């Protein structure tokens, strides 16, 4: 194994554990930690469970424990494996460790030499070294994302003679993924119902596995499963890693699935020093395979484990925490803890009943405006919801009130056509067996190669056991292809020869080789949808900058490492929290984030708990508890102000209907909430308007006014006070509108 070289294994600091002279002293490490945090950092050898509530400083505890292990306990940095769930969290952890244990300049950004990363990045790293013990794979394997997987499955469905409209690739892909992850279970469970549909799925799955092996490609599930396969069947490899890692730390342990659970068992199998940190109350990814039993049963799995609870919260006010504690205490699948704070009690949680989704959206927009008027920023605010379709009305209300916002959608940049094209070309440079990448870019730019010609080439390649790229090197490959397609494929074969030069280059230089092989202006022009090519060109430049940044951070990674990093970008890695815009996101996407003002919309019984999640669950009670945890996660994102809204009538796909408030609202403590129903909203609004003060000065019902956008209109109603003062105006052209007077810029015309 090239990574376990003798030089590193016998280095004096590795053997003696000599402390880093520049490292932060122990007293400084522990400074500012509370008693429970200190206990977790200083815990001795063996298994350790840290039950960490939201906002309890768990990242600081984990990184400080790593520093303590290195500086005080004689553990070399490269003998530590620390696993978390997002690249963003891993990067933050590495940076914090670097501050506590300053490494040599060449090691900056790498967590002092520790292995710190996600499960997928750690497994990809291991496979780059070990996959050749598995038949049919080489270290230059490609990593296929969900889109690549679905494209290959769609091709297989057609090849097998099935209707791709009846047997949809995303559905089959999800089924295959679920089967793969079930293989990590130890209870013998298999997804099987004996249906005809399942027979089709099984046939597709078999062919999918064959094609992936032929293409030397792995999907996200394979990254973990192939390492598990190696560890299960090649004990020498497993033991080398288990011996190397004297300390294993896993963050967000409540989000692990059974495959990850078994991997952790392997990593910690020799030394037995395993620290896991997590919170059963924040286990919200069962639909992705997460198994809450992993954390709930930790003390049974690891007898003699020490347990430390982090209950002091440094994020939210007392009233928000009381609301969170009251809700989650109704769950049974949990480890008891009560969040508390030494900070302020703060404002009550506001719960507002709204008429419909448009009324709800206007109320949320008004509350955000109020927050900003009180000295806050738009970037302090987040609107959370259980289902994505709720976003539409909220966006409309924010646009109407000119409130800047950002929909946190995660992977948008990497899903753009120009970026996926470049990634596919880079993948082909590294792995010519990658037929999915070949099919994507054979016409990039257009070369006149149609489906019929591609099908003939694919058939030729499969008959000879070759990839499509390698088949082009055969003298008779193009005999059955005519006209422009023949010329285009010959041209592409030449381009592939140029791409092969990029295999061992730095990422940015390799990308330059790809760009030089393209007629970039023509390529971008072919993608022009009428909006011009400037944005796409800027995206290409940004991608080039990412490659340069990667080369600086990881000079040894080359093209292979860069493609691995790009492939493993997750939803939350793309989140940018420094822009002054309201963030809109689902409750699942908000985990790990915090905001001064949080609005949770659509807290109704069909949406939270989500009707389908409960109806489709094997055990509805388990699903209701997970949905409650989702509400708890949303509540605990709020630092200062929390708004919860529900409607009495909501539009769904196919029509609208009356809805009921969520059962979880009845669990909120009455002393900590301020409930606002329609009567209170109307009374407050109508009774408080003062025409002599604020933005409404000089206005009255019946006045004729001019609006800069809506034109001339007549005031029908004035409500609210101060920053909440509103006017309902019937405009000649635009009809009836309700306006916040603070921002409406109304000019009276009838004086």
Specify the higher pLDDT residue, 627 or 287: 627
Helix or strand or coil: residue 254? helix
Average pLDDT over every residue of 417-444: 89
- Residue 600 to residues 391, 586, 590, 630, Cα–Cα distance (Å): 11, 9, 11, 11
Question: Is 211 one of the catalytic residues?
Answer: no
Specify the higher pLDDT residue, 383 or 192: 383
The burial class, CB within 10 Å (0-12 / 13-18 / 19+), for 9 is middle
Question: What's residue 687's pLDDT?
Answer: 44
Cβ neighbours around 315 below 10 Å, total: 21
55 marked as binding residue: yes
Most confident of 105-114, 298-307, 486-495: 298-307
52 marked as binding residue: yes
The rounded distance, in Å, linking the Cα atoms of 605 and 615 is 13
Lowest mean pLDDT segment, chosen from 6-10, 34-38, 432-436, 694-698: 6-10
Question: Is 59 one of the catalytic residues?
Answer: yes
What number does CATH give the domain 318-411+576-654? 3.40.50.300
Specify the higher pLDDT residue, 118 or 682: 118
Answer CATH for 142-215 from 1.25.40.80, 1.10.10.160, 1.20.1250.20, 3.30.2270.10: 1.10.10.160
Q: Inform me whether the pLDDT recorded for 139 exceeds 60.
A: yes
Q: Which of 404, 411, 367, 416 is nearest to 584 (CA)?
A: 404
Lowest mean pLDDT segment, chosen from 503-517, 563-577, 588-602, 641-655: 563-577
The rounded distance, in Å, linking the Cα atoms of 308 and 709 is 59
Question: Mean pLDDT across the chain, nearest whole number?
Answer: 84
53 marked as binding residue: yes
The rounded distance, in Å, linking the Cα atoms of 658 and 388 is 20
Average pLDDT over every residue of 716-736: 76
What tokens were used for 306? 């020490």
Q: Inform me whether the pLDDT recorded for 115 exceeds 70.
A: yes
What tokens were used for 610? 């989500």
Q: Are 425 and 455 in contact (CB under 8 A)?
A: no
pLDDT band at 500 (very low <50, low <70, confident <90, very high): confident
| Distinct helix (H) and strand (E) counts, the chain | 32, 22
What tokens were used for 366? 């008004």
592 marked as binding residue: no
Question: What's residue 552's pLDDT?
Answer: 81
The angle subtended at Cα 286 by Cα 591 and Cα 150, nearest 5°, is 95
Lowest mean pLDDT segment, chosen from 205-214, 367-376, 401-410, 670-679: 670-679
Question: Is 306 one of the catalytic residues?
Answer: no
- Residue 109 to residues 116, 344, 611, Cα–Cα distance (Å): 10, 37, 45
- 196-214 helix and 146-159 helix, angle to the nearest 10 degrees: 110
Lowest mean pLDDT segment, chosen from 245-249, 498-502, 679-683: 679-683
pLDDT per residue as tens digits for the range 441-480: 888 888 888 888 888 888 888 888 888 888 888 878 777 7
- Residue 555 to residues 109, 426, 561, Cα–Cα distance (Å): 12, 18, 9
Question: Is 462 one of the catalytic residues?
Answer: no
The rounded distance, in Å, linking the Cα atoms of 667 and 608 is 13
- Specify the pTM: 0.78
Boundaries of every domain in the chain: 21-129+224-310, 142-215, 318-411+576-654, 412-568, 682-748
What tokens were used for 598? 């949080």
Question: What's residue 108's pLDDT?
Answer: 46
What number does CATH give the domain 21-129+224-310? 3.40.50.300
pLDDT band at 696 (very low <50, low <70, confident <90, very high): low
Residues in the chain: 751
Catalytic residue among 362, 637, 639, 650: 637
Q: Are 320 and 644 in contact (CB under 8 A)?
A: no
Lowest mean pLDDT segment, chosen from 62-76, 354-368, 516-530, 570-584: 570-584
Lowest mean pLDDT segment, chosen from 168-172, 511-515, 656-660, 721-725: 721-725
Question: Is 58 one of the catalytic residues?
Answer: yes
Question: What's residue 409's pLDDT?
Answer: 64
The rounded distance, in Å, linking the Cα atoms of 586 and 410 is 11
Question: What's residue 472's pLDDT?
Answer: 85
488 marked as binding residue: no
Catalytic residue among 205, 221, 251, 421: 251
| Mode of pairing for the β-strands spanning 711-719 and 349-354 | unpaired
The answer to whether domain 21-129+224-310 and domain 318-411+576-654 are alike in fold is: yes
Q: Which of 687, 668, 675 is nearest to 725 (CA)?
A: 687
Helix or strand or coil: residue 598? strand
What tokens were used for 732? 């000649």
Catalytic residue among 98, 222, 252, 640: 252
pLDDT per residue as tens digits for the range 552-593: 877 777 888 888 888 887 655 555 666 789 999 999 989 889
Question: What's residue 40's pLDDT?
Answer: 96
Share of the chain above pLDDT 70, in %: 86
Q: Are 85 and 250 in contact (CB under 8 A)?
A: no
Question: What's residue 529's pLDDT?
Answer: 65
Specify the higher pLDDT residue, 189 or 694: 694
Average pLDDT over every residue of 537-562: 82
Average pLDDT over every residue of 722-751: 77
Question: 549-558 long-range CB contacts below 8 Å, 24 or more apart?
Answer: 550/507, 550/508, 551/506, 551/507, 551/508, 553/109, 555/506, 557/507, 558/504, 558/505, 558/506, 558/507, 558/510
Catalytic residue among 58, 211, 583, 641: 58
pLDDT band at 654 (very low <50, low <70, confident <90, very high): low
Q: DSSP for 306-340? A: EEEEE-B-SSS-HHHHHHHHHHHTT-SSS-----B
pLDDT per residue as tens digits for the range 4-59: 432 333 333 333 344 454 556 777 888 899 999 999 999 999 999 999 999 999 99
Question: What's residue 110's pLDDT?
Answer: 46
Q: Are 284 and 591 in contact (CB under 8 A)?
A: yes
What number does CATH give the domain 682-748? 2.40.10
Q: Are 693 and 640 in contact (CB under 8 A)?
A: no
The rounded distance, in Å, linking the Cα atoms of 462 and 440 is 18
Question: What's residue 530's pLDDT?
Answer: 62
Q: Are 228 and 262 in contact (CB under 8 A)?
A: yes
Specify the higher pLDDT residue, 414 or 205: 205
56 marked as binding residue: yes
pLDDT per residue as tens digits for the range 53-74: 999 999 999 999 999 998 888 8
Catalytic residue among 86, 282, 312, 636: 282
Lowest mean pLDDT segment, chosen from 315-319, 588-592, 707-711: 707-711
Cβ neighbours around 394 below 10 Å, total: 26
pLDDT band at 87 (very low <50, low <70, confident <90, very high): confident
Across-strand partners of 312? 340
Catalytic residue among 39, 59, 139, 207: 59
The burial class, CB within 10 Å (0-12 / 13-18 / 19+), for 7 is exposed
Lowest mean pLDDT segment, chosen from 411-415, 523-527, 661-665, 719-723: 719-723
Lowest mean pLDDT segment, chosen from 61-75, 100-114, 718-732: 100-114
What number does CATH give the domain 412-568? 1.10.486.10
Question: Is 637 one of the catalytic residues?
Answer: yes
């Amino acid at each position: 194994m090239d990574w376990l070289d003798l030089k590193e294994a016998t280095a004096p600091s590795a053997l003696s554990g000599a402390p880093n002279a520049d490292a932060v002293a122990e007293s400084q490490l522990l400074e500012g930690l509370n008693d429970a945090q200190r206990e977790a950092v200083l815990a001795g050898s063996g298994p350790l469970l840290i039950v960490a509530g939201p906002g309890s400083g768990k990242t600081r505890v984990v990184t400080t424990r790593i520093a303590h292990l290195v500086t005080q306990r004689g553990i070399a940095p490269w003998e530590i494996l620390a696993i978390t769930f997002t690249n963003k969290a891993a990067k933050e952890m590495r940076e914090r460790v670097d501050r506590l244990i300053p490494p040599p300049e060449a090691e900056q950004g790498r967590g002092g030499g520790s292995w710190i990363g996600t499960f997928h990045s750690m497994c990809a790293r291991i496979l780059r070294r070990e996959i050749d013990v598995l038949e049919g794979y080489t270290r230059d394997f490609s990593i296929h994302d969900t889109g690549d997987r679905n494209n290959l499955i769609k091709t297989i469905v057609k090849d097998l003679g099935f209707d791709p409209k009846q047997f949809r690739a995303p559905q089959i892909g999800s089924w295959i993924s679920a089967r793969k992850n079930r293989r990590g279970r130890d209870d013998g469970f298999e997804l099987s119902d004996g249906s005809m549909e399942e027979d089709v799925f099984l046939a597709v799955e078999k062919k999918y596995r064959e094609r992936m092996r032929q293409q030397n490609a792995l999907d996200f599930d394979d990254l973990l499963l192939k390492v598990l396969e190696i560890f299960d069947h090649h004990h020498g490899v497993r033991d080398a890693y288990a011996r190397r890692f004297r300390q294993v730390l896993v963050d967000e342990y409540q989000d692990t699935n059974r495959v990850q659970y078994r991997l952790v068992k392997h990593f910690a199998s020799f030394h037995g020093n395993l620290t896991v940190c997590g919170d059963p109350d924040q286990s919200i990814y069962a639909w992705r395979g997460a198994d809450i039993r992993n954390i709930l049963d930790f003390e049974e799995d690891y007898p003699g484990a020490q347990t430390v609870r982090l209950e002091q919260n440094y994020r939210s006010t007392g009233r928000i925490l009381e609301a969170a504690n009251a809700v989650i205490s109704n769950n049974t699948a949990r480890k008891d803890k009560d969040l508390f704070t030494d900070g302020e009690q703060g404002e009550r949680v506001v719960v507002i009943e709204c008429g419909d989704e448009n009324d709800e959206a206007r109320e949320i927009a008004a509350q955000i405006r109020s927050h900003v008027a009180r000295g806050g920023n738009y970037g302090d605010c987040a609107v959370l919801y259980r289902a994505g379709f709720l976003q539409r009305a909220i966006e409309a209300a924010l646009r109407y009130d000119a409130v800047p916002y950002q929909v946190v959608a995660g992977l948008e940049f990497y899903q753009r056509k120009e970026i996926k094209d470049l990634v596919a070309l880079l993948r082909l440079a590294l792995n010519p067996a990658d037929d999915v990448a070949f099919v994507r870019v054979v016409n990039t730019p257009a070369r006149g190669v149609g489906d019929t010609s591609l099908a003939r080439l694919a058939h030729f390649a499969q008959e000879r056991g070759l990839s499509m790229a390698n088949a082009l090197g055969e003298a008779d490959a193009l005999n059955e292809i005519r006209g422009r397609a023949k010329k285009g494929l010959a041209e592409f074969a030449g381009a592939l020869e140029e791409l092969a030069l990029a295999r061992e280059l730095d990422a940015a230089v390799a990308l330059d080789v790809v760009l030089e092989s393209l007629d970039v202006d023509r390529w971008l022009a072919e993608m022009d949808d009428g909006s011009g090519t400037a944005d796409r060109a800027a995206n290409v430049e940004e991608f080039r900058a990412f490659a340069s940044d990667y080369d600086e951070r990881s000079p040894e990674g080359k093209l292979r490492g860069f493609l691995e990093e790009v492939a493993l970008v997750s939803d939350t890695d793309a989140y940018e929290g420094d822009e002054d815009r309201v963030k809109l996101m689902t409750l699942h996407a908000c985990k790990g984030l915090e905001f001064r003002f949080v609005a949770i919309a659509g807290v109704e019984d069909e949406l939270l708990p989500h009707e389908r999640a409960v109806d489709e669950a094997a055990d509805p009670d388990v699903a209701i508890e997970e949905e409650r945890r989702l509400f708890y996660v949303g509540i605990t994102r709020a630092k200062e102000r929390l708004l919860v809204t529900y409607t009495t009538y909501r539009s769904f796909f196919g029509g609208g209907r009356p809805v009921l408030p969520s059962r979880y609202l009845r669990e909120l403590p009455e002393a900590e909430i301020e409930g606002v129903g329609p009567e209170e909203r109307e009374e407050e609004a109508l009774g408080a308007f003062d025409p002599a003060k604020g933005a409404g000065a000089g206005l009255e019902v019946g006045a004729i006014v001019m609006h800069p956008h809506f034109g001339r209109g007549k005031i029908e109603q004035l409500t609210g006070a101060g920053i909440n003062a509103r006017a309902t105006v019937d405009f000649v052209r635009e009809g009836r509108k309700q306006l916040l007077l603070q921002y409406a810029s109304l000019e009276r015309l009838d004086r």
